């Protein structure tokens, strides 16, 4: 039963896949979760759509823009305290991410032999940097990013294919756009660059396949066609 105590202890509780984006369980404390965020970092995210660990995307951008940015600082912190209190007591606390410089040093020395490394350099490194740390509150860091390390890679694949735009709020009025790469990268290319990101700089996450990418690409194309349909 979805509402049973057993279900509420599971990692899938309070998680969902929405428009090809994966929202991890609010109770999960492992990689790809809120487990490593402090209450202050979570409150900052609710107010601005960004913090040192990442930037809102997909439907969450609308939530930030039209709702949570208007929370008072006290209410944002209270909401963060509540969300942190949802943690599953059966899970261990998440440990802070430890950066690993092997891939950065390889790229710095001209070694792009790891699958996906050349694609990353050609398409991603200008904004997210060869060291994967990005530019805080502008271009999110990929090293240690919860979205990058999530067990479900749908969000990362969708962002690569469909692009993304940072939310505009009173505290973050500048808006930045990541272009879509569906026209430029094949399913194999996307899988390779996503896997490169998910296994570099200390990240450790399961791989995706070209077939996984193809399914998400098809779903995105269908949604785009419906959006452009007359009367929509």
Residue-range domains of the chain with CATH: 8-228 (1.10.760.10)
The whole-angstrom separation of Cα 128 and Cα 153 is 18
Whole-angstrom distance, CA of residue 85 vs CA of residue 191: 36
pLDDT tens-digit readout, 131-178: 999 998 899 999 999 899 988 999 999 999 999 999 999 998 999 999
Residue 3 banded pLDDT, cuts 50, 70, 90? very low
Residue 91 clears pLDDT 70, i.e. is over it: no
Per-residue model confidence (pLDDT) at position 36: 78
pLDDT for 206-224, tens place per residue? Answer: 999 999 999 999 999 988 8
Residue 188 to residue 173: CA distance in whole angstroms: 36
């Amino acid at each position: 039963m979805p509402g049973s105590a057993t279900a509420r202890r599971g990692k899938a509780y309070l998680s969902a896949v929405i428009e090809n984006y994966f929202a991890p369980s609010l109770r999960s404390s492992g990689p790809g979760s809120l487990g490593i965020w402090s209450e202050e970092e979570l409150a900052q995210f609710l107010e601005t759509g960004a913090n040192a660990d990442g930037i809102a995307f997909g439907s969450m951008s609308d939530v930030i823009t039209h709702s949570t940015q208007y929370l008072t600082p006290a209410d944002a912190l209270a909401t963060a305290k509540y969300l942190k209190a949802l943690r599953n007591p059966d899970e261990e606390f998440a440990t802070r991410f430890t950066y690993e410089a092997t891939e950065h040093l390889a790229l710095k020395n001209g070694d792009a032999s790891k699958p996906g490394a050349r694609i990353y350099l050609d398409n991603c490194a200008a904004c997210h940097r060869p060291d994967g740390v990005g530019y805080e509150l502008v271009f999110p860091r990929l090293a240690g990013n919860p979205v990058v390390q999530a067990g479900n890679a749908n969000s990362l694949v969708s962002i690569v294919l469909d692009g993304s735009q940072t939310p505009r709020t009173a505290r973050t009025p500048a808006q930045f756009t990541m272009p879509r790469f569906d026209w430029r990268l094949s399913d194999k290319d996307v899988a390779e660059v996503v896997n490169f990101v998910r296994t570099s700089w200390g990240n450790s996450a399961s791989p995706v396949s070209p077939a996984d990418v193809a399914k998400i690409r098809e779903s995105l194309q269908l949604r785009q066609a419906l959006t452009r349909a007359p009367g929509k």
